[in-house]
């Protein structure tokens, strides 16, 4: 390595370490502050915070495939709703224990992601997105028509949560933090580095002797599995599941929040989720047309603020 290259590497390392430390401190501070929410006694704030945590897990799991593998999926509602419906059917219809329903719900999401990944990953870009969308809407059609099992438009209700709302919040935070850490270790592993290489230059990775299809399938399964964890938590939150979470519009949520927060950062989808839910909650108090206002904001971020909210903050910190 030349002297200039060594100096550049050293400078990058020095600049990266403080940024990583600041990010870690910020994450710990947010988690610590969120643990105080149940103590306020505000039931709506408790419900909204639980919802945010679940959607954070959903968005981070989606970004394993999108941000690190370069694959845009419009079918993640399949994994989300598949796990939720599996839990609801097992517990409410077949009287299985809640723990069994929880585990098998996640297993169903893993199975769905493996099958969909095997059948769709030979396609690229918009073709991959459309195939995943087709699988998701196929499942939505089954949920709507198979009324005897899924309840049709009415969904499935009446199954227990297993915790009071107070303790369910802490359980959700614990599960989301553990799952997020596992996904972080995955994207920072050798497999994660290969996935980033595939995203940047798939042909070069193929010439190095790696099977890009195999590694993308790994990413699909990991993404789908942890999306399934979010799905069963969502089912337990409301103690009901409806076809709404199986519709393609629910697949758009992680796409929007990831673009808003920043797909090139691991915590970007989490930041985007917090901004999305809070702004949506505030805007809906004043107008029914919150989708239009939020849509304009998303377009502005994508066109003029590449890297999302996290990218803006990082550029500001580097400037200082």
Q: How much of the chain exceeds pLDDT 70, in percent?
A: 91
**291/191 Cα distance (integer angstroms):** 37
* pLDDT exceeds 90 at position 237: yes
Distances in whole angstroms, Cα of residue 82 to Cα of each of 78, 109, 230, 232, 302? 6, 6, 11, 9, 31
pTM: 0.89
Residue 20: the pLDDT is 58
**What's the farthest any 2 CA atoms get from each other in the chain?**
71
Domain residue extents for the chain: 37-248
In the block, which residue shows the tokens 């419009």?
74
Of 43-47, 173-177, 263-267, the one with minimum mean pLDDT is: 263-267
pLDDT at 144 over 80: yes
Average pLDDT for residues 173-178, to the nearest whole number? 96
Is residue 86 within 8 A of residue 104, CB to CB? The reply is yes
- Residue 320 is predicted with a pLDDT of 64
Under the banding of pLDDT at 50, 70 and 90, the label for residue 225 is: very high
Range with the largest mean pLDDT of 77-81, 121-125, 262-266, 272-276? 77-81
Kindly indicate the confidence band of residue 7, based on its pLDDT and cuts at 50, 70 and 90: very low
Rounded to a whole number of angstroms, the distance between the first and last alpha carbons of the chain is 30
């Amino acid at each position: 390595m030349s002297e200039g290259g060594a100096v550049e590497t050293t400078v990058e390392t020095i600049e990266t370490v403080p940024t990583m430390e600041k990010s870690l401190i910020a994450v710990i501070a947010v988690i610590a502050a969120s643990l105080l929410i149940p103590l306020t006694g505000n039931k709506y704030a408790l419900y909204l915070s639980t919802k945010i945590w679940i959607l954070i897990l959903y968005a981070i799991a989606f970004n394993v495939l999108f941000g690190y593998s370069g694959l845009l999926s419009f079918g993640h509602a399949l994994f989300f709703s598949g796990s939720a419906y599996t839990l609801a059917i097992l517990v409410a219809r077949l009287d299985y224990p809640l723990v069994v329903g929880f585990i098998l719900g996640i297993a169903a999401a893993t199975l769905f992601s493996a099958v969909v990944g095997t059948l769709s990953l030979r396609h690229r870009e918009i073709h991959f997105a459309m195939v995943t969308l087709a699988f998701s809407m196929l499942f939505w059609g089954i949920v709507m028509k198979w009324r005897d099992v899924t309840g049709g438009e009415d969904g499935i209700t009446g199954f227990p949560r297993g915790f009071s709302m107070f303790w369910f919040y802490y359980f959700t935070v614990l599960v989301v933090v553990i799952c997020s850490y596992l996904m972080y270790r995955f994207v920072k592993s050798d497999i994660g580095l290969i996935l980033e290489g595939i995203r940047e230059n798939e042909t070069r990775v193929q010439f190095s002797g790696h099977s890009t299809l195999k590694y993308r399938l790994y990413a699909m399964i990991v993404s789908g599995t942890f999306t399934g964890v979010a799905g069963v938590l969502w089912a337990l939150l409301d103690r009901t599941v409806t076809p709404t979470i199986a519709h393609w519009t629910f697949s758009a949520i992680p796409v929007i929040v990831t673009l808003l927060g920043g797909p090139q950062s691991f915590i970007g989808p989490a930041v985007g989720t917090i901004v999305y839910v809070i702004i949506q909650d505030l805007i809906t108090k004043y107008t029914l047309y919150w989708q239009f206002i939020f849509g304009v904001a998303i377009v502005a971020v994508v066109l003029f603020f590449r890297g999302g909210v996290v990218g803006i903050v990082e550029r500001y910190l580097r400037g200082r």
